[in-house]
Amino acid sequence: MAAAEPAVPALPGSGGGGAAAPSGTVPVLFCFSVFARPSSVPHGAGYELLIQKFLSLYGDQIDMHRKFVVQLFAEEWGQYVDLPKGFAVSERCKVRLVPLQIQLTTLGNLTPSSTVFFCCDMQERFRPAIKYFGDIISVGQRLLQGARILGIPVIVTEQYPKGLGSTVQEIDLTGVKLVLPKTKFSMVLPEVEAALAEIPGVRSVVLFGVETHVCIQQTALELVGRGIEVHIVADATSSRSMMDRMFALEELFLNHLIFHGSYSGCFLG
């Protein structure tokens, strides 16, 4: 299931009912299909917590291959409206999960002719800071070996290499298509977009590197926004904090923006 969080203006007083104490919980009526189940969430709960609550209440009835939108009942309009961007629960309200008519594209097998590998910021200065850095280097080595064997283009970025150093020596960059410095989080630089445009029929990107909750996440979001399937290699990406890594992968998975799994054996075909 994926749920969209549309950028619409905030609605004053849209929740209706009485206000809850800031330190307590707020009653919320969660509606899905013909069902309506009362529950509660912490004061200030946002989009992600609402999605998690819907999954806990209706998980066995939700078609995970559909795309959904969360809507809020607005008293001033007398009907449901798309959940405002940045919405936080502050008073009693009613929300519903609405399936859209379009189906999500399911991710199939990767094929070398339509795939590009993205190696993100695997640099020497990150070695002592990133959890399990040696392990993700090892998986990254195998990924690049597989890319060379299968003729898959590889794009590599380095975050501010003057200060953070080059890609670690263990990662063999022989034959890669591009090695680019960057000073922004996302790998989707103008040079990268130009390189992708030169490769006919690109459909998928296999993405790995650091850090999961920053550069990996931002790169995935930008690529998906351009209509490219993104496969994050879970055992070849990490962060300074395992909590940051876990929440980044969980958030992306729950929103169905990307899917993640292990490609450590470079299973393509």
* Catalytic positions, written as ranges: 121, 182, 215
In contact, 77 and 12? CB cutoff 8 Å: no
Strands (E), the chain: 2-4, 25-32, 35-42, 66-74, 79-82, 93-103, 115-120, 154-159, 178-182, 204-210, 229-238, 259-261
Residue with tokens 């990150």: 126
Q: What are the percentages of helix, strand and coil residues in the chain, rounded to 5?
A: 30, 30, 40
- Distance (Å) of CA 243 to CA 229, 240, 249: 25, 9, 10
